[in-house]
Structure 1
Amino acid sequence: MSMMSSTKTDAIDWSKGAAYVNGAFMPISEARVPLTDWAYRRSDVVYDVVSVWDGQFFRLDDHIARFRRSIKRYRFTPQETDAELRQILHRIVAMSGLRSAYVAMDCLRGQAALGIRVPSKAKNYIACYAAPFTSLVPEEHLQRGLKLAISTIPRIPHECVDATAKNFHWGDMNMAMFEAEETGADFPLLLDFKGNLTEGPGFNVFIVRDGVVATPDYNMLEGISRQTVIELCAELGIDVQVRPISAAEVRDADEIFITSTAGGVIGASQIDGRIMNNDRPGPVSSELRETYWEKRKSGWHTEPVNYDAV
């Protein structure tokens, strides 16, 4: 792989982030995708996102491995190896100088020759960026708890779009978010066509009933933060089940919490207008959130950013 270089200079503001697109490094403000690329015109992209906190990547191996599975699932053929991708991610964080960052890696379908409309003939390429870390929700929402609502918009079926391969097909998610906003909720939860819980826009979902934690087993992204919580439950002696969850179970849950790279574990306080736990996140949700951040700050599953990789 041949990667073009970009030199850090005092004249360039890297504080907003750094990017790598199709072999070249640049400030994030200069990163572009052509309007005619199928990535843009057909939402033909797979991606992954890893977080950096206090100069440490969290579960970088797992994120790269899932990204590679997504690449293969949607038949992309980028030139970069996993080892080269790791170097790219370290370098863009180092170029930005960020200590806490949101680091995305995308694989995009480019264009084929004029008149060719077969995806196997299109060029593929990698684009990555590191930007300042932002949480899925503001701090006051973390303390108050999320207001969630079950959407009337169903999740795209697995048979049509494989949700385990992280992709840009967000039409159902976006419409559900409009609907949630109109009802006063922070976020929607999407069901499948059988009426079972799947996920929300950018996060996995867990419920708690009688001290037992449960999360869906089908038609959703198998999130790295989701897996982290399953591991934490085992450490804390909390029973956890991975199984179908009906809408009725969600509405009757003692607690609900979500998991995302952009925030870790985030508790809910309401579901469809019903108040839980005195309108605050519940005790299991809070324990898992606290444990998650304690272990992250202690170096659990972390890899130091190589800030010399500029």
Structure 2
Amino acid sequence: MTSDAHDFSQGAAFVEGRYVPAREARVSLLDWGFSRSDVTYDVVHVRHGGFFRLEDHLDRFERSLAGFRLAPPYSRAEIAAILDRCVALTGLRDAYVAMICTRGRPRVFGSRRPADCDNLFSAYAIPWIDVIPLDVQARGAHLHIASVTRIPAASIDPTMKNYHWGDLTRGLFEAHDAGADTAVLLDTDGFVTEGPGFNVFMVRGGEVLTPDRGALEGITRRSVLELCAMTGLPARIAPLRREDLMQADEMFCTTTAGGVMPISRVDGHIMSNDAPGPVSLRLKELYWQKHAEGWHRTEVNYAAAETVTVSPAA
């Protein structure tokens, strides 16, 4: 499988067995991933030429595939090779890299049977993304607790990555209308869950806390909990309510697309003199320091950009 002469500098994608510039990647209108949000995905980042926790992201992708009963036509090793080549084709040293499996198009037109669909695997690598812009991170993001409740976990398991973002998007509109940068959602019982693409942490009395329900088990979230253990900083996963956030000494959020991102306000509650707090900054610095030291690093094979080939698994 080869790529034609293309400009991949702004991103490379793998779609239906071909590598194309990311801007040219398409999904069929008939693919249930588009028409029914019948899809799962995962995102891993590349920093200074190396994937961070690639195996952990592949593990989570496999769990999500199993949960949605999706079976891409490539093995785990082949998927890793596709991701590597997408990055290598771009030449990017810092990248946002996605792996996606959609239900696909039904072989029998009009069928309502998921088994009649051939699942489709796609991937892409694009320049680095910070879901909260760097200037906002520097002053601390302003967080709004949305009135919109999170989709119940009994309906859509939040530990399996999905594109069911109707509730999160409504929360974002509400946050922006209120003059905030982003939102966090509560569940139907009033417990804190997550925000649009990120996990939430709070610091109170020197202890780091993160919600125990309604949220993706984020790889960056796991990394922060491990960093806390390494440095002797008390941390735990716990049930949190609105009133807990409103009594926080500090807050931050975590995601693959940005790392550890400080929060300085949650609704009317101002923390750390309206600036990122010391624990948040310490964890942010340590997170990127560990990257520089090669923690959980997998090198991108840039030299193999034009030689790696993949084929569907049997």
2:283 corresponds to 1:288: yes
Which of 290, 297, 302 in structure 2 is aligned with 1:302? 297
CA distance in 2, matches of 1:115, 1:107: 21
**Contact 1:90–1:309 under 8 Å retained in 2:** no
Look up the match of 2:2.
5
- Partner Cα separation in structure 1 for residue 231 and residue 271 of structure 2: 23
Q: Residue 286 of structure 2: SS of its match in structure 1? A: helix
Match of 2:93 among 91, 99, 107: 99
Distance in 1, Cα, partners of 2:41 & 2:54: 14
Instruction: Supply the distance in 2 between the matched residues of 1:120 and 1:200 (Cα, whole angstroms).
Output: 33
2:16 aligned to which of 14, 22, 26: 22
Q: Offset of 1:171 from its aligned partner?
A: 0.3
Aligned partner of residue 102 in structure 2, secondary structure: strand
Look up the match of 1:87.
Answer: 81
Deviation string 1:236-291 (CA, Å, 9 cap, x unpaired) is 11111111111110111111110000110011100112211111011111100010
Match of 1:276 among 242, 246, 271: 271
Instruction: List alignment gaps of at least 5 residues for structure 1.
Output: none
- Give the TM-score of the pair, scaled to structure 1: 0.96
Which residue does 2:27 correspond to in 1?
33
* Structure-1 residue corresponding to 2:308: none
CA distance in 2, matches of 1:140, 1:281: 12
In structure 2, what residue type is equivalent to 1:31? A
> Aligned pair 1:181/2:149, yes or no?
no
Shift of 1:165: 0.4
TM-score (norm 2): 0.95
Residue 120 of structure 1: CA displacement? 2.1
Alpha-carbon distance in 1 for matches of 2:234, 2:79: 37
Q: Distance in 1 between matches of 2:284 and 2:117?
A: 43
Does structure 1 residue 62 correspond to structure 2 residue 59? no
Structure 1 residue 82, shift from structure 2 partner: 0.6
Identity of aligned residues (%): 50
Residue of structure 2 aligned with 1:201, choices 186, 191, 196: 196
The answer (yes or no) to whether the contact 1:149–1:189 under 8 Å persists in 2 is yes
Number of the residue aligned with 1:123: 118
Structure 1 counterpart of 2:3, one-letter code: S
